[in-house]
Amino acid sequence: MLEARAHMHLKNLLRLSSCSWPHSLTLSRLVARTLRRGDSSLIELDSASQDSWWLSLLVPLWLQPSNAVLILSEKQCLRLFNVELPRLDKEGLKLSCWQGSQPAPNGYVWVMDHVELVNAFYRGLLKSKHLIVPDADVLNERLCNAMALEITSKDWEHLRQLNPSADFNLLQLYERLTRRLFAYAARVDAQLRMDFSEIISIKDLLGSQGNVPSPWAKLFSIESNSWATWAELDHRNLQWTWHWKLLDPLDNLQGLLKNQPVLLFSCSGQNALFLSQLESIDCPLNVKVKLGGHVLQEPIPIFAPRSQPLPNTESYAQHLLDQCRRLILGLKGITILLIDDDHLRLQLTSELAAEFGRRVVHQTISAASNGVVCCRCSWWLSFQDQLPPPSQLIFGTLPFASLEEPLIAARVEALKREGRDWFRELLLPEALRSCPQAVAPLRANGGRVAILDGRLRSRSWGDQFYRALEPWIPLHRLLPDETSTLFDNEP
């Protein structure tokens, strides 16, 4: 039986490796069972698992590779070909992988990214395939990026060249939009919501006989209620890019997770939003399993003083500056300071740089050994593997998505139209998913976390962040010498 063979081979591999994740064998049996039966399964892993699941997935695939489609991000693809496959090959387990627009030959695993997944779906190439999706909790986000459309100034020029009779009117429309966007911009390189009516204006100018190149052709076929659209300004060149993104890609790709078996891995530990997305598309799951994290995982110290001001108060900026000074002063190692509000982050970065000099940098991986990296939470999640494990991570604000972001604003409006709770169904689950991932690199390094957002203690949902970050211990007092920092057992 496939499960027994996968268990045996993986057990032999684990004897030779330093992997101490306690659920490797269990996961391999679950993967093998799903492949053998052709089930649709969701396996929820704790955020502490990180990359420990690779062998548990690849060994069953080595035994039964046919009809498997492995959907990976760029980073995961690099790890597969540069780390995991050579490790298997070294132990005599050669897993054959295929990359290309056509289905893999028999005996190969078809590896693709999310753009290729969308193209293969529309071409009907996924029938009878078994889709395997690591990091499935961000599948909707990655599909959103894969299906996004962008209209640049070059696309406008191309459209005008192919339609000389409408050239002058198209140029006038583009210049009118440009003047209006830059006049309404509240800050440099702002993002401004656009109106779907502009597409109707372009269609009217072209008429029924117009030549419509890509990406305009796809743009003319979309439905306004399903997409968010905005302009991203470039003040340096006085140009702008027109962005279009789907509000709910999984709902748009009808049948992607229903017409063939799927194996979904969720590694965030916080999957409420993803589970609601699966429910909304009526995705059938034969198996749903949750595996715990590392039994020996060390609790992380959390500094979250009582009676902190709220982010919308006048004293909040000064509160952040005072607390960050205390936290940074005399600390060895890198500090990561997370603030998603652009204005507040840049202001605090400037004030800290005035005090700590070149130690303070903004969203760059070139940091000193005792540097302070000020960044958005999304930036940290994307680049955390390119920096040494930090000694501390400071949440200047809890990582809630901003309603100033056009895509988030459009999704909130869509939920409001349906009378749904947009905060608890969208913003809160996204923030809870981000926190454990942001903190994960500190656990192995013995670092500490500070949360300076007063909402953590003053709002009823604040306890959910504490639960998302378990295991942890409270840190109530900071002393100048880090080695004499005091802990106590108050809740």
For the stretch 411-463, pLDDT in tens is 999 999 999 999 999 999 999 999 988 998 888 778 899 999 999 999 999 99
For the stretch 307-366, pLDDT in tens is 899 999 999 999 999 999 999 988 889 999 999 998 999 999 999 999 999 999 999 998
Residue 24 has pLDDT above 70, yes or no: yes
Contacts by residues 314-320 (CB-CB < 8 Å, ≥ 24 positions apart): 316/454, 317/344, 317/347, 317/348, 319/452, 320/344, 320/348, 320/396, 320/452
What is the number of other CB atoms lying within 10 angstroms of the CB of residue 439? 20
- Residue 293 has what pLDDT? 55
The two three-digit tokens of residue 224, written as one number: 């306004």
For the stretch 248-294, pLDDT in tens is 999 888 888 887 899 999 876 677 788 888 888 888 889 988 886 54
- Residue 296 has what pLDDT? 55
Percent above pLDDT 90 for the chain: 66
For the stretch 181-224, pLDDT in tens is 999 998 888 999 998 888 989 988 988 778 999 999 998 888 77
- Residue 197 has what pLDDT? 87
For the stretch 57-106, pLDDT in tens is 999 999 998 899 999 999 999 999 999 999 999 988 999 999 999 999 99
Residue 479 has pLDDT above 70, yes or no: no
- What lies within 8 Å, CB to CB, of 168 at 6+ separation is none
In the structure, what pLDDT confidence band is assigned to residue 481 with cuts at 50, 70 and 90?
very low
Give the C-alpha separation, 276 to 221, whole Å. Answer: 28
